[in-house]
Structure 1
Amino acid sequence: MNLHKLILINNACYKVGRTIIPKGIMVHSTGANNPYLKRYVGPDDGLLGKNPYNNHWNQDKPDGRQVCVHGFIGKLADGSIATYQTLPWNMRGWHCGSGSKGSGNDTHIGFEICEDGLTDPTYFSAVYKEAVELCVYLCKQFNLTEKDIICHSEGYKLGIASNHGDVMHWFPKHGKSMDTFRADVKKLLDTENASAPDEPKTLYRVQVGAYSEKANAEVLLKKLRVAGFADAFIKYDK
């Protein structure tokens, strides 16, 4: 994952500053043919490129809407794929609607995948992989599993998001679905958990006494070994 951070501090959502305890992740896509991150994330940090229209989301109400997400996945100016975190992960976003149909804002981290024309398999494969890796990162950070991941259209069916079709208008065009996405997240989670190093063992040294006579020390040593303290030994101080 190529993760960067540019928090949208001028967005009204950030100014409200409400926090949540993340219970899940909601995957969105932007619904517009523009795969470049600079359309939504700004100002230019030297990697994004300049947005000549200045219509990115780092303003009070972008496009006149109360909208904000925790992150975006798309292209940098050089065409490479990156993820940008745009809100603190535990801040309440405005990503799945308002009122009762937007209750997922209270429970879910939401990120957008920048859409292209929906037919380029190379671009889709790259952002799909980046999205899987972002979800693994968030699952590990907030003790979630692949079962806690949904898309916007699934959120609508659950009654926690507005009536949008993303991402199921796009993923099936490339042989993917949210079920395959969750399976790929689980596979990577399992791989990373299996390869994680064991926690180092902590050893506690206990000193039980000091004797001027070696014979007395050896008597205690024998008692300790009989009791199961196989590592007990005599240390002679000079």
Structure 2
Amino acid sequence: MKLRKLLLTNNACYKAGKTITPKGIMVHSTGASNPWLKRYVGPDDGLLGKNQYNNHWNQDKPGGRQVCVHAFIGKLADGSIATYQTLPWNHRGWHAGGAANNTHIGFEICEDGLTDASYFSAVYKEAVELCVHLCKLYGFSEKDIICHSEGYKRGIASNHADVMHWFPKHGKSMDTFRADVKKLLNAENKTVELVNKKYYRVQIGAYSDKANAEAQLAKAKKAGFTDAFIKYD
């Protein structure tokens, strides 16, 4: 994940200054064919590129609407994929149109024409990695992740189709998304366990004759100690 931060400090949501205790994550997509982060995140930090219309969300009410999310995923000016955090994670966002604003961290994936498999694969992977990051930060599991349309079905979000109007076009769903988050979470937790695991080393002997040392090493490996080695001091 390529995570950067550019808080939307001019947005009325940010200025409201309300905080929450996050209890889950809500995945959104923008509903417009524009994969460039500069459409929503600004001003240009040298990586985003200049928004010639100046219609990004770092203003009081973008397009006259009370909208703001915690992050966006999309394209930088060079075409690479990145994530921009746009609100503090514990800030009350304006993304769900319902009670989920009080409980969920919400992020938007910038949509393209919905048919580009390579773009979808890249932003899907980035979204999985962002969710893993947030799960580790707040102790969530994959079960704490929903999309906007699932939020509507639960009665905690407005009636939007995202992301289930897009994911199935590429053979994915929120169930596969949650499964991929779980898989990566487990892999990272296993890596941490291995790094933190303590090992006790046992020295078999010390030899002044190299041949004797090599003979003892051969015996140890034959006995099943495949990690045995000779250290010369």
Task: State the TM-score, normalized to the length of structure 2.
Answer: 0.83
Distance across 1 between alignment mates of 2:154 and 2:23: 14
SS of residue in 2 equivalent to 1:155:
helix
How many residues align structurally? 197
Alignment of 1:15-164 (within 5 A): 15-97=15-97, 102-164=98-160
Q: For residue 198 of structure 1, report the CA deviation from its aligned partner.
A: 1.8
Query: C-alpha deviations, 1:168-210, integer Å up to 9, x for none?
Result: 0000000000000000000000000000022779xxxxxxxxx
Structure showing greater radius of gyration is 1
| 2:208 alignment partner in structure 1 | none
Which one of the candidate residues 179, 184, 207 is aligned to 1:183?
179
Q: Structure 2 vs 1, CA of residues 16 and 200 (structure 1 numbering), >3 Å: closer, same or farther?
A: farther
* Runs of at least 4 residues off by over 4 Å: none
Distance across 1 between alignment mates of 2:70 and 2:153: 22
| 2:3 alignment partner in structure 1 | 3
SS of residue in 1 equivalent to 2:196:
coil
Distance across 1 between alignment mates of 2:26 and 2:197: 32
How large is the RMSD of aligned CA atoms in angstroms?
1.1
SS of residue in 2 equivalent to 1:84:
strand
Residue 115 of structure 2 aligns with an amino acid whose one-letter code is T
Distance across 2 between alignment mates of 1:33 and 1:199: 48
Distance across 2 between alignment mates of 1:90 and 1:137: 14
Distance across 1 between alignment mates of 2:113 and 2:68: 23
Task: State the TM-score, normalized to the length of structure 1.
Answer: 0.82
| 2:166 alignment partner in structure 1 | 170
| 1:192 alignment partner in structure 2 | 188
Distance across 2 between alignment mates of 1:107 and 1:35: 27
Unmatched segments (≥5 aa) in structure 2: 200-233
Overall identity of the aligned pairs, in %: 81
